[in-house]
Amino acid sequence: MRLQDHCPLKKYNTFGIEATADRMMEYESVEELQAFIQRRLSEGNTTPLLHIGDGSNLLFLNDFKGTILRSGMKEIHVTADEGDYVYVRVTAGIVWDDWVQYAVDSNWYGLENLSLIPGTVGASAVQNIGAYGAEAKDFIIFVDTVDLQTGEVRHFTAEECRYGYRDSAFKHELKGRYAVTHVHFRLSHSFRPNLEYGGIHKALAERDIDETNLTAEQLRQTIIEIRRAKLPEPSLLGNAGSFFTNPIVPKATFERLLNENPDMPHYEVDKDYVKIPAGWMIEQCGWKGKTLGKAGVYERQALVLVNRGGATGADIKALCERIQEDVEARFGIHIEPEVNFIA
Ligand code: EPU
């Protein structure tokens, strides 16, 4: 167990916001986490707890008056191998992309399109990360957690996690209560590439890669290159990936918008709902590449807000609110941050 008082948080959030936590605790086993909770219970300590991963989806608005928890557990175990499927238990503290690389190297398939998404394995199960037509929930079977109020271990099936677009029960009724310690994935022994998301066919053709002989490693590297071209590297320019989720609107709203904006990109969700790219709306409002104070909108992808250097959480929040107002005024749609604001 590693404990640190008055912990600077700059390196624990990819926005690079300067804030401090009263305490940081990194645990190396479930038992250590449980012992920590038992001690708090016996001391009657009710100060706030915040479990983080890599801090790639967080915005600290203030110093954190409590204890930040992190998993230092790094283990990958095959729990079953049956027919086409391999079942793998992965600790929450592993960096997501290290897990994707490990899976591809092991010839376990499915995660290729999720390459280079920032964050940890634990966060993937809270946030249902997604990209290029794939989502973490497509591969998650169940999740092991520790109840932060009692220290008890509890398992949640994927159904109990209630996964939706960038969403799960861990962001709603279970919020803050459970620390994800392990995620159980089901991957395939057969490689069935998912190339349908706009841009992948073109990117493969540009690289002279023959789709009929495509390998998982080639697909992974292509996805990495597509992401690098659009998304800023957090160590060079602080950011948290997509700042907003893409709004899902009823068909009637979509038809009104399309009438006014015939070139508007969109994705059908089901027969009643359509997803509209928030990045496109933000660009239409003239925000792409703009700066407000020390916060800015990334030049190559308007869905990404960036720290231009020395921004506070309040600077980023102010920019977020200005953008929300403009999108609402122009399109009549409220866009919601995907990033977690920590007050
Ligand atoms: N667009 C614009 N201007 C922009 C940005 C986008 O016009 O500045 C248009 C694009 O031309 C395209 C559409 O909007 O027609 C969608 O853009 P893109 O493919 O870049 O994807 P996105 O919807 O903006 C989502 C995810 C990303 C993920 C990509 C690729 C969300 C909130 N974001 O972005 O996830 O990498 O699709 O699958 O769903 C993240 O969550 O941090 C993240 C980066």
Per-residue pLDDT, 184 = 98
Q: How close is the Cα of 294 to the center of ligand 1, in Å?
A: 23
AA letter at 212: T
From residue 233, how far is each of 141, 223, 236, 306 by CA, in Å?
Answer: 31, 15, 6, 10
Per-residue pLDDT, 1 = 85
Task: Evaluate whether 284 touches 328 at the Cβ level (below 8 Å).
Answer: no
Q: How close is the Cα of 273 to the center of ligand 1, in Å?
A: 18
Tokens found for residue 208? 């002279």
Task: Evaluate whether 248 touches 260 at the Cβ level (below 8 Å).
Answer: no
Asked if pLDDT for residue 137 goes beyond 70, the answer is yes
Going across the sheet that includes 248-250, the strands are: 248-250, 273-275, 267-268
* Averaged pLDDT of the chain: 97
State which ligand 1 atom lies nearest to the alpha carbon of 230. Answer: 20
Q: What is the mean pLDDT of residues 11-16?
A: 97
Of 280, 287, 340, best ligand 1 pocket probe by most atoms within 8 Å of the beta carbon: 280
Report the C-alpha gap between 313 and 15 in whole angstroms. 9
Tokens found for residue 40? 């708090």
Pocket of ligand 1 from Cβ distances under 6 Å: 131-132, 230-231, 241-242, 245-246, 265, 277, 279-280, 283, 288, 301-303, 338
* pLDDT, tens digit, 9 for 90 and up, residues 249-283: 999 999 999 999 999 999 999 999 999 999 999 99
Q: How close is the Cα of 107 to the center of ligand 1, in Å?
A: 29
Cβ-in-10-Å burial (0-12, 13-18, 19+) of 177 comes to middle
State which ligand 1 atom lies nearest to the alpha carbon of 244. Answer: 32
Q: Is 29 a catalytic residue?
A: no
Of 266, 303, 320, 331, best ligand 1 pocket probe by most atoms within 8 Å of the beta carbon: 303
Helices (H), 26-120: 30-43, 96-105
Q: Is 166 a catalytic residue?
A: yes
- pLDDT-derived band of residue 198, with 50, 70 and 90 as boundaries? low
Quick one: which of 333, 275, 278 has its CA closest to 304? Answer: 278
Please name the residue whose Cα sits nearest to atom 27 of ligand 1.
131
Per-residue pLDDT, 86 = 98
Task: Read off the pTM.
Answer: 0.96
Quick one: which of 3, 23, 94 has its CA closest to 63? Answer: 23
Task: Evaluate whether 145 touches 183 at the Cβ level (below 8 Å).
Answer: no
Q: How close is the Cα of 173 to the center of ligand 1, in Å?
A: 28
Size of the chain, expressed as the number of residues it contains: 343
Rg of the chain's alpha carbons, rounded to an integer? 21
Quick one: which of 246, 100, 282, 110 has its CA closest to 166? Answer: 246
C-alpha atoms less than 13 angstroms from C-alpha of 55 in its C-beta half-sphere = 23
Q: How close is the Cα of 301 to the center of ligand 1, in Å?
A: 7
Asked if pLDDT for residue 298 goes beyond 70, the answer is yes
Per-residue pLDDT, 197 = 87
Q: What is the mean pLDDT of residues 64-72?
A: 97
| Residue that is written with structure tokens 């390459």 in the block | 115
* pLDDT, tens digit, 9 for 90 and up, residues 82-111: 999 999 999 999 999 999 999 999 999 999
Per-residue pLDDT, 314 = 97
Task: Evaluate whether 17 touches 9 at the Cβ level (below 8 Å).
Answer: yes
Provide the phi-psi class of 316: left if phi over 0, else alpha when psi is between -120 and 50, else beta. Answer: alpha
What the chain holds in terms of domains, given with CATH numbers, is: 2-71 (3.30.43.10), 76-188 (3.30.465.10), 238-342 (3.90.78.10)
Which of the following is catalytic: 166, 186, 220, 227? 166
Asked if pLDDT for residue 214 goes beyond 70, the answer is yes
State which ligand 1 atom lies nearest to the alpha carbon of 265. Answer: 15
